[in-house]
């Protein structure tokens, strides 16, 4: 589900902010500049041993053909040169994740796009996403903060006031002394979640506003700008602490509109492991209060049951409408997306119908919703057009050999491949057993358990015997034709044995 969390969250926030998401995601270039002497080059043979020797290291996973990687390279190198002189030294490294022998590393670190930067702490035992800027000065500033203590000691009321911000989560540990297992576990928590919250620690509980101040600890007090404003917690197992902070720092009902103060909580919402319930409506037409009241009641009813709730303004949520393939004349509407990607839709919902529909969903009565473009009335081009509603008939149960391209309309590599795919299709025009086809993966739901599409274009070959194989050869007419001939021949000789590349 990582792709869903990142892509929809970005579409929601960036589209709502006027950001040109399509252009940014589609730009690319053919080559990457070589690094200088300060960025350490690692690969499958030495990354694990190198990381194990360091308490803090940053690794960039890149591809030589990636234009964003090329743009980052000189900034990354400049930052590495500056950070090499800091105390403590911060090491920047890189791995060519496109190189065949390094691909297991890319899988291990869940690399789903380029460039991806990972912060590795304590010999690699803690792995975090780099969420900072991509210019040299920004990288340096961000990593200096990241490599320092995650939690600051609070010794005075002014210290507390300085880190309490109205729109952020603050987590404070109170301890009789700043040592021992509870304190060490708290510092581990702060390291794990330092990107998401502010952390502080103190031996004086009287410095903290709100709540009972009689205890000297140990306990954790979490401050937040929604729901109950203060929550205390007294378990100090690291996993329990992480779960407490992650669950408590998500609002019972997350609001999404154009107000930037809500955006950090939208990100937390989509990064949570729960299924997602999303109600979209026009916040300005007088319906907000009625819907918010009923929807919040439902959110409270299902709190802690693996379902998180968001209420989004139509004006700010165009990215979500694009992602789900829904239209404004369907609002107010609810979409629920499960962790396996299945979606459920209730258009034109009334406030009094929300509770019963969510109950029907929980009871398994609601049927899944599938996003699909219309099936074309005319489909006579050499490369056939497949949509979600025709995928089963044209590909999966067609009994034919099908080379299927998953593409995005804005993708430059897809546009480059298009005339080549046309030539391949023309080569097989007189062969009734071969279909060359394409599907817009941004406008149609794809069965992720069958097709693992992590970038565009992605090509799969489905043999007439039912075997499905990822095509990772060169994108030339000759290689694609050879691949099809090879695998259809294998099918003919060996039946329906599953093939592996």
Over residues 404-434, the pLDDT tens digits come to 999 999 999 999 999 999 999 999 999 999 9
Mean pLDDT within 194-212 = 84
Catalytic residue selected from 69, 111, 119, 316: 69
The confidence score (pLDDT) of residue 131 equals 87
Mean pLDDT within 445-464 = 91
Query: Does residue 215 have a pLDDT over 70?
Result: no
Query: Does residue 30 have a pLDDT over 70?
Result: no
Query: Does residue 105 have a pLDDT over 60?
Result: yes
Report, in this order, helix, strand and coil percent for the chain, each rounded to 5.
40, 20, 40
Mean pLDDT within 265-283 = 91
Mean pLDDT within 74-79 = 94
Catalytic residue selected from 154, 241, 411, 435: 411
Query: Does residue 237 have a pLDDT over 90?
Result: yes
Angstrom distances, CA of residue 354 to CA of 347, 371, 414, 455: 11, 22, 41, 36
The confidence score (pLDDT) of residue 9 equals 52
Angstrom distances, CA of residue 241 to CA of 57, 192, 233, 451: 25, 11, 8, 37
Are 242 and 199 contacting, i.e. CB atoms less than 8 angstroms apart? Answer: no
197 is catalytic: no
pTM beyond 0.85 = no
**Residues β-bridged to residue 223:** 170, 230
Q: Bigger pLDDT: 36 or 318?
A: 318
Sign of the four-CA dihedral 69, 421, 374, 342: negative
Mean pLDDT within 269-286 = 91
Query: Does residue 13 have a pLDDT over 50?
Result: no
> Which domains are assigned to the chain?
31-147 (3.40.30.10), 151-248 (3.40.30.10), 253-362 (3.40.30.10), 384-494 (3.40.30.10)
User: How many other C-beta atoms are found inside a 10 Å radius of the C-beta of residue 132?
Assistant: 18
Mean pLDDT within 53-71 = 92
User: Above pLDDT 70, what percent of the chain?
Assistant: 89
Which residue, among 60, 54, 117, 122, has the nearest Cα to 88 in the 3D structure? 54
Catalytic residue selected from 11, 12, 335, 414: 414
The confidence score (pLDDT) of residue 268 equals 85
Mean pLDDT within 60-84 = 93
9 is catalytic: no
Query: Does residue 260 have a pLDDT over 90?
Result: no
């Amino acid at each position: 589900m990582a792709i869903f969390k990142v892509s929809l969250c970005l579409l929601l926030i960036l589209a709502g902010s006027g950001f040109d998401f399509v252009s940014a995601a589609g730009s690319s270039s053919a080559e990457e500049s070589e690094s200088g002497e300060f960025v350490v080059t690692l690969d499958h043979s030495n990354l694990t041993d190198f990381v194990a020797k360091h308490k803090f290291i940053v690794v960039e996973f890149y591809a030589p053909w990636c234009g964003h990687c090329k743009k980052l390279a000189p900034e990354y190198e400049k930052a590495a040169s500056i950070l090499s002189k800091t105390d403590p030294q911060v090491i920047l490294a890189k791995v060519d994740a496109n190189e065949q022998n390094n691909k297991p590393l890319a899988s291990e670190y869940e690399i789903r796009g380029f460039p991806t930067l990972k912060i590795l702490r304590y010999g690699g035992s803690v792995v975090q996403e780099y969420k900072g800027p991509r210019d040299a000065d920004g990288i340096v500033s961000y990593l200096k903060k990241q490599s320092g203590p995650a939690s600051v000691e609070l010794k005075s009321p002014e210290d507390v006031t300085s880190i309490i911000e109205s729109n952020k989560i603050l987590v404070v540990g109170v301890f009789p002394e700043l040592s021992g297992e509870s304190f060490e576990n708290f510092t581990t928590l702060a390291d794990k979640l330092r990107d998401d919250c502010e952390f502080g620690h103190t031996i004086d509980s009287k410095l903290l506003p709100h709540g009972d101040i009689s205890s000297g600890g140990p306990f954790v007090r979490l401050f937040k700008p929604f729901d109950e404003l203060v929550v205390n917690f007294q378990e100090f197992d690291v996993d329990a602490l992480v779960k407490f902070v992650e669950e408590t720092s998500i609002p019972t009902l997350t609001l999404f509109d154009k107000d930037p103060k809500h955006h950090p909580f939208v990100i937390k919402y989509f990064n949570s492991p729960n299924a997602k319930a999303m109600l979209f409506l026009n916040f300005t037409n007088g319906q907000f209060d009625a819907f918010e009241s009923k929807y919040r009641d439902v959110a409270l009813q299902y709190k802690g049951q693996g379902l998180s709730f968001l209420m989004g303004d139509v004006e700010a949520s165009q990215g979500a409408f694009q992602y789900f393939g829904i239209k404004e004349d369907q609002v107010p509407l609810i979409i629920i997306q499960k962790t396996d990607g299945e979606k459920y839709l209730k258009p034109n919902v009334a406030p009094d119908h929300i509770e019963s529909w969510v109950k029907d969903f929980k009871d398994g009565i609601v049927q899944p919703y599938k996003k699909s473009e219309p099936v074309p009335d005319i489909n006579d081009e050499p490369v056939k057009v497949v949509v979600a509603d025709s995928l089963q008939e044209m590909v999966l149960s067609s009994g034919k050999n099908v080379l299927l391209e998953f593409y995005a309309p804005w993708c430059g590599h897809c546009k480059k491949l298009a005339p080549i795919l046309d030539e391949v299709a023309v080569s097989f025009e007189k062969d009734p057993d071969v279909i060359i086809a394409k599907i817009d993966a941004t406008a149609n739901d794809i069965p992720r358990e069958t097709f693992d599409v992590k970038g565009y274009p992605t090509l799969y070959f489905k043999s007439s015997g039912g075997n499905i194989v990822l095509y990772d050869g060169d994108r030339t007419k000759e290689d694609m034709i050879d691949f099809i001939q090879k695998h259809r021949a294998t099918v003919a000789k060996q039946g329906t044995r599953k093939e592996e590349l």
